[in-house]
Structure 1
Amino acid sequence: MRYIEEKISPRYPEGAKKDTYQPVLYGYLQDRSPQLIHSAKRMAVIVCPGGAYRFKSDREGEPIAMRFLAAGMQAFVLQYSVAPNQYPAALLELAEAVALVRTHAEEWDIDPEKIMICGFSAGGHLCASLGTLWKEPFIGEKLGRPEYLWKPDGMILCYPVISMAEFGHEECRKLLMGDQLSDEWSKFLSLQNRVTEDTVPAFIWSTQEDEEVPVENSLLFASALRRCHVTFELHIYEEGVHGLALCDATTEERKAQIVPDNAGWIRHAVRWLRRR
């Protein structure tokens, strides 16, 4: 197995990048083997931890990547820019990360048509942003890459922030938009409003007990996908606080984060990915 670190450096719009933080894509790459018939073209998953656009949760980074790695996929974790940086800094970094993985697909034993993104909470908003906005002209202008090299092939959204208005997460909204904060921008970045027939397929899960990012975020997004005839799978679990990650002791910070009935989400997600 190989471990790689790749700096992510898109061109940022004026005012979006406000510090010197260097985003990095960390990769865990399994070697090809003649005994493994799919090992020369593995699926890739890029994980985006949550953290309200204020920090990145370690619980939602490498431990998640290791589960996808164990399922036979090439796994990555994107450490993207958070506050004081503003939209679209993190979005451009994720777009660049997808493009980078696709560019290195042959070298890294990846199927270039199976590059997925997986985000938690605010990281879910980030992934859903790329999954819905990948055709926005400014992305190509800032990346300077061949057209749509940055388009993901699917997205896994784990208790995602979707709305920046009703049912939204106020800290996410303020930190993401900063001095751009307005009702107009809130509507623009409420991603249920941005779904079209070009939105990429989605696997979504949440819990009805989540009080930090209400389940309505997932329901609104799933409803928008349905209206636009975009393939999706939705799981709503009865119990569980926000930030469950793997729902077991692997990612436990406190006892409330162990919910055995929900721990199967990643098995369902892996099966969904394999159907792609």
Structure 2
Amino acid sequence: MRIVEKTITGIDGSTARLTGYVAESSSEMADTARPAMLILPGGGYAMTSERESDPIALRFTAAGYQTFILRYSCAPSRHPVALLQAAQAMRLIRAHADDWRVAPARVALLGFSAGGHLAATLATASGEAALREHGFTEPQEVRPDALLLAYPVITTGPHAHRRSISTLLGPEHRHDAALLDMLSIERHIDGRTPPVFVWHTMTDPTVPVENTLMLIQACHEAGVRVEAHLFPEGGHGLSLATRATARAGSPGAAGEPDPDNVVPAVQIWPDLALTFLAGAFADRP
């Protein structure tokens, strides 16, 4: 295993960090290219969560994926800085397919919360205009082959997580009707959208589950393959929903994990995602 690091400079001069966990060739194992996964942590476009970074990457690395984390630029950077960095990260992964032992037609994109919104913007027609404007003349070339979303921000409408959208656009553009329409993902699902896996909790107090329900309906209407899992309980930002990825509890809890972040019923989602990916990639080289 080796760790690769790349710096991606944004159009505003900010920098993003791409970190990869790459399994190298071994005489003891079959020397074949592996599927890859690019992970976009959440954080309301104000930061990128470490709870949704390395623990997620290592979970999928153990399952045979070459995994990459993009710690993209957040506020004060504004749209489309992070989108262009995510597109560049996808381009780098495919461009280094031989060196990083990646199957370039089996690259998944996994986003959490606001990172889910960023992932969905790249994977759908929502981001096409901005990509073309900034030199990605063929947006399909940087789209993932499968899209995985965990408690994602989807809509800019009545059920929006307004803080994420406002942070992404900044005070100058947070009420820009054209931008809000472009970044409302459910309005831009079409036949070119890759297969979608999504999960959410019904009791999420931060990003309403209606975001995911709107995504499911849009995929269904467009004929896009979608697998959705709605868990009856659990808060927002669960990551793996284990003790290892739980937020620290209150100061009086002596560093114990927040019990609201440990939800055994949710812990199955990585296995469900891997089964989904096996099916989505079954006919790909």
Secondary structure, counterpart of 2:15 in structure 1: coil
State the distance in 1 between where 2:46 and 2:71 align.
Answer: 12
Q: Could you list the runs of 4 or more consecutive aligned residues of structure 1 that deviate by over 6 angstroms after TM superposition?
A: none
Shift of 1:35: 4.1
Alignment of 1:21 onto 2:32: no
Which whole-Å deviations, capped at 9, do the CAs of 1:193-217 have from their partners, x for residues lacking one? 1111111111000000001001100
Q: CA deviation at 1:146?
A: 6.8
The answer to whether residue 135 in structure 2 is matched with residue 161 in structure 1 is no
Question: Contact conserved, 1:117 with 1:152, CA < 8 A, in 2?
Answer: yes
RMSD: 1.7
- In 2, distance between residues paired with 1:89 and 1:264? 33
Contact 2:197 2:273 in 1 (8 A): yes
Once the two structures are superposed, the pairs formed by residues 184-223 of structure 1 within 5 Å of their partners are 184-223=178-217
Q: Which runs of 5+ in 2 are unaligned?
A: 248-257, 281-285
**Within 5 A, what are the aligned runs for 1:249-268?**
249-253=243-247, 254-268=258-272
AA matched with 1:260: P
CA change 1:205–1:139 in 2 (3 A) is same
Counterpart-to-counterpart distance in 2, 1:163 and 1:106: 37
Task: Give me the whole-angstrom Cα distance separating, in 1, the residues matched to 2:222 and 2:139.
Answer: 23
Residue in 2 that maps onto 1:93: 85
Deviation at 1:255, TM superposition (A): 1.2
2:48 maps to 1:66: no
Find out whether 1:127 has 2:119 as its counterpart: yes
Q: 1:128-150, CA deviations, whole angstroms, 9 ceiling, x for partnerless residues?
A: 11111377254145245776431
Using the alignment, how far apart are the partners of 1:222 and 1:90 within structure 2? 25
For 2:48, the aligned partner's letter is K
Alpha-carbon deviations, 1:195-244, whole Å to 9, x = none? 11111111000000001001100010010001000111000000000010
Q: Which amino acid aligns with 2:169?
A: M
Contact 1:9 1:23 in 2 (8 A): yes
Do the aligned residues in 2 keep the contact of 1:154 with 1:202 (CA within 8 Å)? yes
Normalized against structure 2, the TM-score is what?
Answer: 0.90
Partners of 2:264 and 2:73 in 1: CA distance? 32
Whether the aligned pair in 2 keeps the contact of 1:118 and 1:157 (CA below 8 Å) is yes
| Cα distance in structure 1, aligned partners of 2:136 and 2:187 | 27
Match of 1:83 in 2: 75
Q: Counterpart amino acid of 2:23?
A: Q
Cα distance in structure 1, aligned partners of 2:119 and 2:199: 14
After TM superposition, give the deviation of residue 31 of structure 1 in Å.
1.1
Equivalent position of 1:225 in the other structure: 219
Matches within 5 A, 1:109-120: 109-120=101-112
Structure 1 residue aligned with 2:252? none
Residues 135 and 148, structure 1, Cα contact 8 Å, conserved in 2: no
Q: Deviations over 1:58-77 (max 9, x none)?
A: 10011000001000100110
Distance 1:234 1:78 in 2: 24
| Letter of the structure 2 residue corresponding to residue 128 of structure 1 | A
Scaled by the length of structure 1, the TM-score of the pair is 0.92
Aligned residues: 268
Superposed, 1:226-245 pairs within 5 Å as 226-245=220-239
* Residue pair 1:127, 1:155 contacting (<8 A) in 2 also: yes
1:36-79 CA distance string (max 9 Å, x none):
33x42100001111000011111001100000100010011001
**Correspondence for 2:95 among 103, 106, 125:** 103
Q: Structure 1: 5+ residue runs without aligned partners?
A: none
| 1:55 partner amino acid | M
Q: 1:144 to 1:81 in 2, by over 3 A?
A: same
